[in-house]
Chains A and B, each alone.
Chain A
């Protein structure tokens, strides 16, 4: 029997650019052309001022660790506990859920506000997930 796989996102017309981005090694966010608000998750209008004039841009991929849990049980399919479920504060403002790689999954190693950088992990031929690792230097 195959290993159980982690939950696989299914893009919609409004989010396709995000998943195209991760596949191409880019973390894409959106910015309002009217009020400059940067937001996430994706949608074709600004949730701050309701303008439909918005642009997609490549984010720096830099952020900090805003908060997390280290999940022990029950574990999601495709995960081996304990594993951290983190929320990353991106340099551009929005926050996103992710996992932290390249780092022990312990309270000592996972320090709030530690600098992080994005890394991309292919899930299958179509979907690549944006994960984060401790920033180098």
Chain B
């Protein structure tokens, strides 16, 4: 895809984040969508392209009153919205539509109007994983961690530092769920969830949503907000079964999506001012730093432990507080994208001064899928 041909011109989260017992899941979608429409200075009738995950495009378009000429229902987990951005950019460039609305919302905590996730007994997961006691992401996502630690010499303290540093970012963000400072000892003494991970190394469970509006870069200059351009994109999938990953020392989906986006953007790692790596659990930033090529995997734990990703560090990472401390409704990718857009607009609560390039990397399922979007505020 060509660089900087498409831009984000509207971006917003739900009015509230956290525990929202007053809205169903589709209404959370609508709340985020209406906020993004207002942010872009548009009317719903201006939207001719629509993408969402879990909820279907037909459900949401009907609820919102949109008649689209292009839809995308790609639903590959929490990074679905990175893939939507990539697909929408291609669709706009191809002339299939002009103005795309992408929505995410999840009643992850209150569970209002949300279908429970289930694994059919005759699926491959139902036959070859479920009988062995996996029960939700905390029992599955950390399964590669011990192998990763042994292979690269990563320590429990380094993995605890991921949570400590992200809490430092969250403390600067009024909308973050968890803002009180924590120490490595706090993390390592928190309740055991699935060894080696404890409570503070697992994401929050909240309600909320977010929405983005994309259009061509040529039209973007006429919108009220500073345009945020799509500089590079990548995507891939590997397997829905964590046990069947090619290796536990790397994510193949990360290694495809990340470098693809860097190549398309035509940038080097030294050009990156701001970085988001979807952190459903504390090991994901390490996998991301390694697989996106920022450093060898051996150096990821020491890099974070040395404070290079904390406020004032040389590589600001997960500056909203991340899924560990900001919010995590179940499919966090949308919130990572929102923070990248805020950073590129220059309006983030913990703004990285002068940031021009933001890399936003998402995961879907348990390393099942991946999407990377590189944004810039310069054309």
Contact = CB atoms under 8 A, between A and B. Distances in A.
Contacts of B134: 76, 85, 97
Nearest to B246: A95
Contact of A69 (B130, B142, B244): B142
B147 A112 contact: yes
Contacts of A40: 128, 244
B195 A82 contact: yes
Nearest to B129: A97
Interface stretch (B61-69, B89-97, B119-127, B171-179): B119-127
A97 B132 contact: yes
B150 to A, nearest CB: 5
Contact of B244 (A8, A41, A73, A107): A41
Interface string A13-51: 001000100000000000000000000110000000000
Main secondary structure of the interface of A (DSSP, over half): loop
Interface string B110-143: 0000000001111010111111111110111011
Nearest to B150: A112
Contacts, number: 119
A7 B101 CA distance: 39
Interface residues of A, number: 38
B194 A71 contact: yes
A56 to B, nearest CB: 16
B143 A41 contact: no
B243 A97 contact: yes
A66 B147 contact: yes
Given A66-B248, A67-B147, A67-B248, A79 B127 contact: no
B139 A85 contact: yes
Given A66-B147, A68-B146, A95-B244, A9 B128 contact: yes
Nearest to A9: B127
Interface centre among B133, B191, B244 (most CB of A within 10 A): B133
Contacts of B127: 9-12, 15, 19, 41
Given A75-B135, A97-B132, A99-B133, A41 B146 contact: no
A74 B126 CA distance: 18
A123 B143 contact: no
A97 B150 CA distance: 19
A69 B139 contact: yes
B132 A85 contact: yes
A8 B1 CA distance: 46
B144 interface: yes
A72 B194 CA distance: 5
A79 B135 CA distance: 10
B145 interface: yes
Nearest to B147: A67
Contacts of B375: none
Interface centre among B193, B195, B196 (most CB of A within 10 A): B195
Contacts of A83: 133
A68 B140 CA distance: 9
Given A69-B139, A85-B133, A112-B147, A95 B243 contact: yes
Interface string A78-92: 110011011100000
A70 B194 contact: yes
Contacts of A85: 132-134, 139-140, 143, 194
B119 to A, nearest CB: 7
Contacts of A136: none
B192 interface: yes
B197 interface: yes
A73 B139 CA distance: 8
Given A72-B195, A82-B195, A87-B243, A9 B143 contact: no
24 contacts: A7-B119, A7-B131, A9-B130, A10-B121, A12-B122, A41-B244, A66-B147, A67-B146, A69-B145, A69-B195, A70-B194, A72-B191, A74-B139, A75-B133, A76-B139, A78-B133, A85-B139, A85-B140, A87-B243, A87-B248, A96-B243, A99-B132, A107-B196, A129-B131
Interface pairs A-B: 4 shortest CB-CB: A76-B135, A7-B130, A9-B127, A67-B147
Interface of A: 6-12, 15, 19, 40-41, 66-76, 78-79, 82-83, 85-87, 95-99, 107, 112, 123, 129
Given A15-B127, A69-B196, A72-B191, 19 more contacts: A6-B133, A7-B131, A9-B126, A9-B127, A41-B124, A66-B147, A67-B147, A69-B145, A69-B195, A70-B195, A72-B193, A72-B195, A73-B193, A74-B139, A78-B133, A85-B143, A87-B243, A97-B129, A112-B150
